Structure 1
Amino acid sequence: MEQALIARRGILALPIALAVTSPALAASTRTARDLLRAFLDTLSAHDLKAFRALYVDDGYVQHQTLVMNTPSATSGPDAAVAYFRRRIEAFPDLKVTSDVSVVDGDMISANLIWSGTHAGEYLGVPATGRHVTFNSTDIMKVRDGLFSEHWGAADLYGLVNQLKA
């Protein structure tokens, strides 16, 4: 009974495994769960071109104020790509996984686990060479197999404490 309820609600009870070599699905046939997997795969592979293709071209709304965003002409999904580009530059071996996620219709909620070695300046902290792990909690809305909105919170306090330890 409990497993049937979990399956019906779309709750992922096991960690998401990366499948970088699997072919990407066309946006029109991609489910919200497929989109989350593609998010994890493309970021872990540092494939920002494929990562950008996961977002709607127009109307993307970022509800979270990103710490590293600076005023510029870049907005929407291109701002998200620029944000993650800076994270990958600071942590060149960055991997992202999820230990739990919930998909309900066009909404995804996930706890993301980020890990990597601090090899470049990040959040004002010069490279330390330390390996860190931190998490973020993210809610994403899907439209036509692509991300259209995002809300989230990352444990940047915990990350900075690891970098300065």
Structure 2
Amino acid sequence: MDLQLEKNKEIVRRFNKEVIEEGNVEVFEELMDEHFINHSAPQGADNRKQGMINTFNGVLRPAMPDIQVTILQQIAEGDLVTTRKNISGTHTGNFMGIAPSHRRISIDVIDIVRLKNGKYAEHWGINNLSVVLAHLKNDQ
């Protein structure tokens, strides 16, 4: 077992728990490299640190205050950590223009994070958010 790979996976688990789930901005700042870039940010959106925290604390958390992150699988190689996870919560707030449905939302995500000196340096990700939003719109 490679200790550095395990440390890298723990950093990503901590980010998911303390930043995404708990909204801890102090931990976010601690874990983010100053030159971070999010390769998966929508075209025209902020692909730096501020854009990333805005996604969590400005979009997801207001829509689902009881947000939970469940890590299903992690693979680490070199300075990369791939995480398959689920982000879920109760849709009690406005979610990207969609009024609260009070239903449980479940978003499947696969993230790849490149770490540099124990911090998030780069991010790539795919998710089924567009499918989730389409279902919510159809149910209105």
Query: Which of these two proteins has the greater Rg computed from alpha carbons?
Result: 1
Residue type matched to 1:163 in 2? L
TM-score, normalised to structure 2's length? 0.84
CA separation of 1:160/1:75 partners in 2, compared to 1, >3 Å: closer, same or farther? closer
Structure 1 stretches lacking a partner, 5+ long: 1-6, 12-29
Report what 1:128 is aligned to. 101
**Contact 2:33 2:119 survives alignment (8 Å):** yes
Spell out, residue by residue over 1:31-83, the C-alpha distance to the aligned partner (whole angstroms, 9 max, x if none): 211211111211222223212321112x211111338x74xxx6511210111
Which of 80, 89, 103 aligns to 2:62? It is 89
Give the structure with the higher percent strand.
Answer: 2
Please tell me the root mean square deviation across aligned C-alpha atoms, in Å: 2.4
Report what 2:26 is aligned to. 49
Structure 2 stretches lacking a partner, 5+ long: none
Report what 1:18 is aligned to. none
> How far is 1:162 from its partner?
4.1
Residue type matched to 2:100 in 1? A
Give the structure with the higher percent helix.
Answer: 2
Residue type matched to 1:117 in 2? T
Q: Sequence identity, in percent? A: 22
Regions of 4+ moved over 4 Å = none
- The total of aligned residue pairs comes to 135
Which of 73, 77, 97 aligns to 1:100? It is 73
CA separation of 1:156/1:75 partners in 2, compared to 1, >3 Å: closer, same or farther? closer
- Structure 2 CA distance for aligned equivalents of residues 60 and 139 of structure 1: 13
